[in-house]
Amino acid sequence: MTHRLIVGGSGSGKSHQAKKLTKQLAARGYPTLVLCRGGEEHDWAHAQYVTSSFDEFEKVFWANHGLAVVVDEAMNIFDGETALRAKRMLTEGRHQAHVVHLVAQRAVDQLNATARQQADTAFIFRIAEADAKSLAGQFGIPALAQAHLLPQYHYFAVGPCGYCKLGETTP
């Protein structure tokens, strides 16, 4: 059971990376479930379930086991009336044996502490300098303060025990 964060500015390569990771999982037998913004559904050709409706997404999430789940820039699900339900998916969702990918532009505003603490791996793409500094503090990894200097499609892969390695998404 894995839980991954994908963070970076607009156009940095986050969705591309989420697609790559979920295609790899599809090859290992994980169907893909995506919650995305309205109008972006067609971007997810390989996914079995794609929706911009939180209710629909939640229903499929709990009705299945072993999905590759993506929340692509729909981080406002952690605010307002869906907040508790979204948090429950992050914590108790582990029993569904899903692999969950959370995609967000701004780590600070959009990722609540639960989301961050539950993550096994974070892919940090190019991000605003202030956010890079904040992420360095949140993860306790000083190198992340340089994330604003990353070229497009490049990322820091961050794991447990201070693991941090540079990577690049392939087309």
Ligand X SMILES: Nc1ncnc2c1ncn2[C@@H]1O[C@H](COP(=O)(O)OP(=O)(O)O)[C@@H](O)[C@H]1O
The piece of 5-13, 63-71, 85-93, 109-117 that touches ligand X (CB under 6 A) is: 5-13
For residue 162, the minimal CB distance to ligand X (Å) is 25
- Contact call for residue 28 and ligand X (CB under 6 A): no
- Closest C-alpha to 90, from 112, 63, 107, 66: 112
Binding residue (CB under 6 A) for ligand X from 11, 137, 151, 162 = 11
Give the footprint of Mg ion on residues 10-29 (CB under 5 A): 15
**Tokens in use for 103?**
């995609």
Binding mask 127-156 for ligand X (x = CB under 6 A): --------------------------x---
DSSP characters over 35-104: E--TT-GGG-TT-SEEES-HHHHHHHHHH-SS-EEEEES-GGGGSGGGHHHHHHHHHHGGGGT-EEEEEE
**Strand 99-104 with 3-7, pairing:** parallel
- Contact call for residue 12 and ligand X (CB under 6 A): yes
Chain residues binding Mg ion by CB under 5 A are 15
Chain residues binding ligand X by CB under 6 A are 8, 10-16, 153, 169-171
